[in-house]
């Protein structure tokens, strides 16, 4: 793996509508067993720090890039990690892992987010 990249948009809260771009080339994420992992949580040493969300845990969740797409893992958070199933917010079990459909919303603490489709460089 050489070039790993994650584009996402914050979908709620004070930063609602903010697009974010993370890339391993500028030091975001870590490699775990050959897959790229983006750490999300309230503490500032996360790859995606949520310092304005009092309901997120210090190290709340991980976004994991696998060959078959993005996966979301709860890291034993207090207030939970949720996935929007179109009808309801579904709370993930503690430390559970789930595949994210393209464009599917998920919530870390109170912050909703969405992974954007990869930008194709022309």
Binding site for other proteins (CB under 8 A): 11-18, 51-52, 54-55, 84, 86-89, 105, 110, 112
- Between 5 and 15, name the residue whose CB sits nearer to other proteins: 15
- Between 4 and 91, name the residue whose CB sits nearer to other proteins: 91
Give 68-115 as a 3 state SS string: CEEEEEECCCCCCEEEECCCCEEECCCCCEEECCCCCEEEECCEEEEE
Least distance CB 20 / other proteins (angstroms): 11
Q: What is the dihedral of CA 81, 84, 90, 93, to 10 degrees?
A: -30
- Between 35 and 79, name the residue whose CB sits nearer to other proteins: 79
Q: List residues bridging with 35 in a β-sheet.
A: 32
Least distance CB 37 / other proteins (angstroms): 26
């Amino acid at each position: 793996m050489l070039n790993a990249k994650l584009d996402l948009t914050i979908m709620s809260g004070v930063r609602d509508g903010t697009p974010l771009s993370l890339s391993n080339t500028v030091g975001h994420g870590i490699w775990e067993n050959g897959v790229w992992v983006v750490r999300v949580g309230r503490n500032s040493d996360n790859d995606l720090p949520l310092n304005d969300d009092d309901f997120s845990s210090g190290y709340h969740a991980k976004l994991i890039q696998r060959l078959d797409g993005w996966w979301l893992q709860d890291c034993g958070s207090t207030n939970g990690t949720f996935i929007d199933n179109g009808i309801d917010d579904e709370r993930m079990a503690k430390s559970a892992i789930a595949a994210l459909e393209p464009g599917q919303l998920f919530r870390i603490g109170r912050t909703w987010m969405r992974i954007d489709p990869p930008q194709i460089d022309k």
